[in-house]
Structure 1
């Protein structure tokens, strides 16, 4: 029976059983396996892994493990000090385009409020999410580890927090999105890009008081939703301020 040692670094320990965290794991196996399969056997999604080092050399997910291998697994933002690391996946679009699973609807709405491209439907099946992510080069945001283990998904992130506003700060920090924020430019209902709309074109859809007191409007060309700076605008701006305050930094120092 072959034996390897494997060490998951930094925030990858979030996925491990307590007995395996922050230590080298001695593991025996009796069949030929790729390093990707071995990593995911410890419940660490491949999308969370940025770099793999075997016996001091960078490898990709297809590497077939050998008896006696010493494996180091690193997340994004961690620097193992290996020159010219071997990329595990192509670079995502910048800024990234997201697709959010069905349990994170509030996160999707908040990201859209900040102007970020974020697909979401409350009836998306996991297989559909994986297909869309692959076809459109979208990064999957989820709290479902099994979803991130689907081979079609190249880019993904497991959202740690279960609080929507904290989730937003977490995603902004993880993907360094603060310079990409452009609030109130996307439809929070469907993700469409908002456009300035002449009042006369939509006058028949406005309530009498809205028609009387407001002249500037935005609308979504995809779903037809209309937006204006009404009495709710101050609350919206307060919400945006809350989402952008106290950015959460991922802890990449934990060993």
Structure 2
């Protein structure tokens, strides 16, 4: 026998819904007594995006069993993102196969961003669990895995918009440490003298740049060129928006 409950999703959770169901009460039909987590994910919203659930105006855990005629209000982390990081020791990420450019941008700002375009979803989940990494993905279904400690679905397909969203979501501005991570292999990089890497530099770089860094793992050489300046400008804009 089927039953009906009513759901209302607040704030950014509406990004997952079709327009007729956004910011309004709507009916959800179910059989038996599923956990509210299962109902929310059946509607299309991964549980990792959910901060709180009220059923009939009372807070309940995601394991709570849905009952006929329940009125379920679901809230996101909007404005309370710090709660996401409970139990996460550092700002360490693992990204899905669609987010290679974002991984490089996060590394440029000094964040540990694991990425391999050959990783399966199963491998990403395992790495997130064993290394306590935050999963960043464009795949909503990936975030429905119970083993993932923290995750975030990227709404945009544009790299700079994705980076801005991650910085806001996880309050990364104060933790940025540019030129400490290799954009290619995610290894640590350190400052080196120009003489030590002179043979590895393009002619114009030799002429116009004096400050250099080298990856301790793959030996790639870095300098503060145009890509770095674009990332720094984005960080400045985000800082200005936060204090506006």
Work out whether 1:109 is the aligned partner of 2:100: no
TM-score, length of structure 2 as denominator length: 0.85
Unaligned runs of 5+ in 1: 80-86, 250-255
Structure 1 residues 207, 198: closer, same or farther in 2, change over 3 A? Answer: closer
Aligned to 1:9: 10
Tell me the alpha carbon deviations over residues 117-163 of structure 1, each in whole angstroms, 9 at most, x when there is no partner. 11111111111111101111111111111111122222110111111
Higher helix share: 2
Return the TM-score normalized by structure 1.
Answer: 0.81
Deviation at 1:197, TM superposition (A): 4.3
SS, match of residue 190 in structure 1: coil
Q: Match of 1:56?
A: 57
Matched, 1:35 2:74: no
Distance in 2 between residues matched to 1:78 and 1:111, nearest whole Å: 22
Question: Which among 116, 133, 152 is matched to residue 157 of structure 1?
Answer: 152
Question: Which residue of 94, 111, 124 maps to 1:129?
Answer: 124
Which residue number corresponds to residue 134 of structure 2?
A: 139
Structure 1 196/42 Cα, relative in aligned 2: closer, same or farther at 3 Å?
A: same
Preserved contact between residue 3 and residue 68 of structure 2 (Cα < 8 Å): yes
Q: How many residues align?
A: 237
Residue segments in structure 2 that go unaligned for 5+ positions in a row: none
Q: Whole-Å Cα distance in 2 between the matches of residues 208 and 29 of structure 1?
A: 64
Per the TM alignment, residue 204 of structure 1 is displaced from its structure 2 partner at its CA by 9.2
Q: Which has the higher contact order (CA 8 A, sep 6+)?
A: 1
Q: Aligned equivalents of 1:35 and 1:208: distance in 2?
A: 58
User: Is residue 73 from structure 1 mapped to residue 74 from structure 2 by the alignment?
Assistant: yes
Is the 1:13–1:21 Cα contact (8 Å) retained in structure 2?
yes
Q: Which residue of 2 aligns with 1:242?
A: 233
Deviation at 1:4, TM superposition (A): 1.4
Partner Cα separation in structure 2 for residue 114 and residue 207 of structure 1: 22
Q: Does 1:206 align with 2:206?
A: no
